Amino acid sequence: MVKDRTILLCVSGGIAAYKACALTSKLVQAGANVRVAMTKSAEQFVGQATFQALSRNPVYTDVFEEHDPTKIAHIDVVDSSDLIVVAPATANTIAKLANGIADDFMTTSILAAKCPVIISPAMNVNMLEHPATQRNIETLKSYGYQLIEPGVGNLACGWIGGGRLPEPEDLVRIIESQFFPKLYLGKDVLITAGPTVERIDPVRYLSNDSSGKMGVALAEVARDMGARVTLVHGPLQVPVPEGVTAVPVKSSEEMLREVTSRFEASDLVVKSAAVADYRPKTVHSEKHKKVHGPLTIELEETTDILKSLGEKKTHQVLVGFAAETERLEEHATAKLKRKNVDYLVANDVSGSDVGFGADDNEVVLFHADGTTHRLPKQSKKQLAFELLTHFKEAVR
């Protein structure tokens, strides 16, 4: 999402300036045109040459130094920027920006900017919590700037608490989210992810290989597209994304209850969870002891959540997933009609490079009107973007 975007990265004088080097590198690798502005204090931590080599662009430090005499640098640089990111933002820089002080290249540029501005504070926890800093942060929010919540942990000063600059990869994710089309602004999106767990006894259960990566990717992208996202999930192999309402469950019965209670208020429901089709008919309250010879466990069907939602849907756009190992088109088409869904996303999970547990996926999207779209192998996050763009055609 940052490819061919121009980003002005403003680096102020804190020890976390070293992370801005990695951030510059990751953004350039993603295809962004990164230009760096530094304060004189920042140069005490990282030299201009480092950012120039990483960004492949001149580095701006002096408001009176003009690289091109036909242009006023601090005006031109913001006029041609799609986004400004201040990382790290020290208490001093935050105070200047909050009060309109423009005494160097960085603050002068930001004061003249019309593009969105993201500010990522990083400082000692006591400086961060000081009433003056908190007041200045609230002032910046009132200007429309986006403030990133600092991380909590060990700080360079020896204190433990808030004030850490987020890791570069987390900052890249936040920056990318600025460029997502807000297709779902004001919409409520309900997504299920991961496997369910059906207990045999307190230490044993039936489940499957679902990692939840696809559902989490869908939740992240829907959030970045402006939706209010609820993620009902079984045990996941990846973290729950920030900015979504997470509802953890274990069994298929729990997932049915949580999804059903939220269905009416949803505009889009994506059932990407791998829900167990069967569960033990008898659940032992104590550990079932080993017996010599074969052991038979009687199973009973679980409630078909997707089918029950298909029977109830009114205004909702309902999406189902089908993990197949053979005759994908035949099985997917039958499931789409049987479950009364608007879209059916089918993928072949017989290989190890896509599907369950993998970072990539390739699917065929079946529409209720009979059309199909084959989406080639790509990262699950890229695939989530394509799928949600398709789904929006039906969401009103």
For each of the domains in the chain, give its residue range(s) and CATH number, in order of start.
6-177 (3.40.50.1950), 188-391 (3.40.50.10300)
Residue whose pair of structure tokens reads 């032992």 in the numeric block = 284
268, exposed or middle or buried, with CB in 10 Å at 0-12, 13-18, 19+? buried
pLDDT at 38 over 80: yes
Alpha-carbon distance 188 to 182, whole Å? Answer: 13
Q: How many Cα neighbours within 13 Å face the side chain of 350?
A: 6
- Is 105 a known ligand-binding residue? no
How high is the mean pLDDT of the chain?
Answer: 91
Token digits for 196?
């369910």
What pTM value is reported for the model?
0.78
Kindly report whether the peptide bond that precedes residue 241 is cis, defined as omega within 30 degrees of 0: no
What pLDDT is stored for residue 396 in this prediction? Answer: 86
List C-alpha distances in Å: 244 to 209, 233, 284, 360: 24, 12, 35, 22
List C-alpha distances in Å: 371 to 316, 365, 366: 20, 8, 6
Alpha-carbon distance 305 to 292, whole Å? Answer: 37
pLDDT digits (tens, 9 = 90+) for 134-160: 999 999 999 999 999 888 777 777 777
pLDDT at 76 over 90: no
Q: Is 10 a catalytic residue?
A: no
Give which of 209, 9, 237 is closest to 106, Cα–Cα: 9
What secondary structure does DSSP assign to 107-138, as a single string? Answer: HHHHHT--S-EEEEE-S-HHHHHSHHHHHHHH
- Is 313 a known ligand-binding residue? no
Alpha-carbon distance 43 to 51, whole Å? Answer: 10
- Is 289 a known ligand-binding residue? no
Select which of 10, 21, 115, 157 is catalytic.
157
352, exposed or middle or buried, with CB in 10 Å at 0-12, 13-18, 19+? exposed
What pLDDT is stored for residue 288 in this prediction? Answer: 86
pLDDT digits (tens, 9 = 90+) for 268-279: 999 999 999 999
What pLDDT is stored for residue 355 in this prediction? Answer: 66
Encoded amino acid at 91, one letter: A
* Helix, strand or coil, per DSSP, at residue 34: strand
CB atoms within 10 A of CB 284: 14
By the 8 A CB rule, do 365 and 348 touch?
no
The phi, psi pair for 378, rounded to 5°, reads -165, 170
Alpha-carbon distance 366 to 362, whole Å? Answer: 13
- Is 321 a known ligand-binding residue? yes
Say what angle helices 213-224 and 380-391 make with each other, to 10 degrees: 60
What pLDDT is stored for residue 27 in this prediction? Answer: 95
Encoded amino acid at 201, one letter: D
Strands 83-89 and 6-11: parallel
Range name among 45-49, 244-248, 327-331, 351-355 with the lowest pLDDT average: 351-355
Alpha-carbon distance 28 to 168, whole Å? Answer: 12
* Helix, strand or coil, per DSSP, at residue 186: coil
Give which of 161, 80, 77, 91 is closest to 120, Cα–Cα: 91
What pLDDT is stored for residue 352 in this prediction? Answer: 66
- Is 82 a known ligand-binding residue? no
